[in-house]
Amino acid sequence: MKSNITSEKVKQIVLDCGGDLAGIASTKTLNAFPPDPRWPQTPERMTPDAKSVIVIGLRVPVAGFRAREPEPYQMMNMMNNRRLDKIARKVSEVLEKQGYFGLVMNNNSTDWRLKSGTYGHLSLRHLAVEAGMGTLGLGVNFMCVEYGPRVNLAVVITDARLEPGTPLTEQLCVGEGCSRCLYACPTDSVLHFHIDKRGCSTKAQVTGFYGAADIFDKFLHADDDGRKEILKSNTLMKYWQGLTRVWGCFGTCPRCTAVCPVGDDYHAHLADDQKVIPETTPERVAKGKEYQSARRAGDEVPGLSDWNIRWVGPDGYNGKAAKEQRKKFRAQKEAE
Ligand code: SF4
Ligand code: SF4
What Cα–Cα distance (Å) separates residue 81 from each residue in 3, 78, 170, 172, 250? 30, 5, 28, 24, 10
Whether the CB-CB separation of 132 and 167 falls below 8 Å is answered with yes
- Is 295 contained in some domain? no
Residue 32 in any domain: the answer is: yes
Residue 34 is part of a domain; what is its CATH number? 3.40.109
Asked if the structure places residue 130 within a domain, the reply is yes
Q: pLDDT digits over 10-55, tens only?
A: 999 999 999 999 999 999 998 888 888 787 788 887 888 999 999 9
Nearest one of 7, 41, 12 to 24, comparing CA atoms: 7
- What atom in ligand 2 is closest to the CA of residue 148? 6
Q: DSSP label at 4? A: -
Q: How many independent structural domains does the chain possess? A: 1
Pocket test for ligand 2, best of 147, 151, 180, 318 (most atoms within 8 A of CB): 180
Ligand nearest to the CA of 262: 2
Q: pLDDT, tens digit, for every residue of 293-307?
A: 999 999 999 999 999
Residue 114 lies in a domain: yes
Instruction: Provide the pLDDT confidence category of residue 238 given band limits of 50, 70 and 90.
Output: confident
Ligand 1 pocket mutation pick from 141, 253, 260 by most atoms within 8 angstroms of CB: 253
The pLDDT tens digits of the residues spanning 97-137 come to 999 999 998 666 666 666 665 677 789 999 999 999 999 99
In a domain, 65, yes or no: yes
Q: Are 186 and 255 in contact (CB under 8 A)?
A: yes
Residue closest by Cα to atom 5 of ligand 2:
137
The verdict on residue 18 lying in a domain is yes
> If you compute the radius of gyration of the chain from its CA atoms, what whole number of angstroms results?
20
Dihedral, CA of residue 242, residue 245, residue 249 and residue 254, to nearest 10? -120
Instruction: Identify which ligand lies nearest to the alpha carbon of 185.
Output: 1
Domain-located, residue 127: yes
Q: Is 186 in the pocket of ligand 1 (CB under 6 A)?
A: yes
Domain of 47 in residue numbering reads as 7-167
Q: Answer yes or no: is 53 within a domain.
A: yes
pLDDT at 36: 83
